Amino acid sequence: MSISRFSRSMKLFDVANEYVVGGVHSNFRYREPHPIYFSRAKGSRLWDADGNEYIDCVINMGACILGHGHPRVVEAVKSALDDGLTVGLEPEISVEVSRMLTRMVPSAESVRFSNTGTEAVMHAIHIARGFTGRYKIAKLEGGYNGWYDYVSVSGHPPLDKAGPPEEPVPILSSAGLAKDVAESTVIIPFNNIEATERIISKHREDLAAVIIEPVMFNVGCALPKKGYLEALRKLTEEYGIVLIFDEVITGFRSAPGGAQEYFGVTPDMSVFGKAIANGFALSAVVGKREIMETIHPRRGKVAYAGTYNSNYISLAAARVVLSELSDGRVQKYLHEAGAKLAKRFNEMAEEIGVKARLQHFAGKFQVYFTDREVIDYRSAVSCDAKKYTVFYESMLNSGIFMLPSHTIHHGVTAAHMDGDIEAILSSMRKALMEVKKHSPD
């Protein structure tokens, strides 16, 4: 990173360190030698505190599916602010947005709103435990489902401690978690049907829920093998285990009803966030009515409350977003844009002579420096991180905003036009040439 190009971010970092631990309010935003601080965004573009302009391929971790500052969303939020309602009361609009979700999402017989993906996952797990009377949770090795204690396990486990691939060992992702987390969380390998069946069968009497991302974006972009989601659905039904799809990122992106519609596998419960309100703080827990009844204010036995739940401003944004996403046109464009990026990138990598591949799903993508398909956590972390760093730094210097981790997801939005896609591809060619120059295969 050029010092002169980021001089204001450097100064802001020095000042921030006096008041903020690490200079950032999310550890994920920290980077060496300093974070980049941003000032504004519009459509497919970002501007940092130094005035540098970028084509954004992070898109608020997937939240801004329509692009930054979408005019209809902005107009709806401004109008909602004029109404004066904020939080702590049940707004009329919550009925309409809930109805929209039940009409779009296959698993949504009943809906409850919250604010973040972490909250939604926590509530979904509480509901599953209350419904089944069981306690343990199963999650994917390398999967990210927020920071609730019982899913803060094996997010990025060191391979020398993670156990055999067919029977991963639970590794805590943070200090300060509840004492029983490791004993209460079962780890399953993505895309290994036989191992997953064996592990779930072993713990079937104790498992309240299995929670997974239908597409593993925490490792970049790993798609489910044919039959994996179907096998998981069959197995959980057989054992009376609640199947939860974490659609915080996959939600609404591949189809109006999310990945569950796209893949034709309906879970018992789902959690949504990010794209649901194009970046405004909103999440949702949806599921079968008999399961969701456990949080009924009078008949239920599981607590579900919060001052900011169904906040008026975010619901105003969500009503616009869901209407924009309901007919499938945005999803069609995202699929096409992702396919174009993948085809052209993979052709360039072969032409230049770099072992690299771009994997994509519904406009989300990741670049891996490997000649093998990434299918799970272990195949993702085994890719060449040093080559990715060279690639990432070249992209940043070319004005394409990406993330420094070689196992994280990127993407485009409905606001990324053909010119943006071509600019990204041009920068990718330059970055691949840099990789070739610094580390020839």
Indicate the helix (H) or strand (E) that contains 286.
Answer: strand 283-287
HEC string of 213-249 equals: CCCECCCCCECCCCCHHHHHHHHHHHHCCEEEEEECC
- The three-state secondary structure class of 256 is coil
Residue 222: phi and psi, rounded to 5, are -110, 120
Which residue in 139, 274, 364, 387 is the catalytic one?
274
Distance CA 128, CA 354 (A): 47
Cβ pair 229, 107 in contact under 8 A: no
161 catalytic? Reply is: no
- The half-sphere exposure of 226 on its side-chain side, counting CA atoms within 13 A, is 0
CA distances from 84 to 72, 114, 115, 312, 314 (A): 19, 20, 19, 9, 13
Distance CA 164, CA 161 (A): 9
Distance CA 227, CA 265 (A): 10
**Residue 340: which residues within 8 A CB-CB, separation 6 or more?**
421
Cβ pair 123, 272 in contact under 8 A: no
Per the omega criterion (within 30 degrees of 0), is the bond before 33 cis? yes
Which residue in 54, 144, 150, 368 is the catalytic one?
144
Rg, the chain, Cα only: 22
Distance CA 290, CA 294 (A): 8
Helices (H), 63-174: 71-83, 93-104, 117-132
Nearest to 236 by CA among 261, 259, 203, 263: 203
274 catalytic? Reply is: yes
234 catalytic? Reply is: no
Which residue in 48, 50, 149, 246 is the catalytic one?
246
The tokens describing 119, both together, are: 């909250």
Annotated active-site positions, please?
144, 246, 274
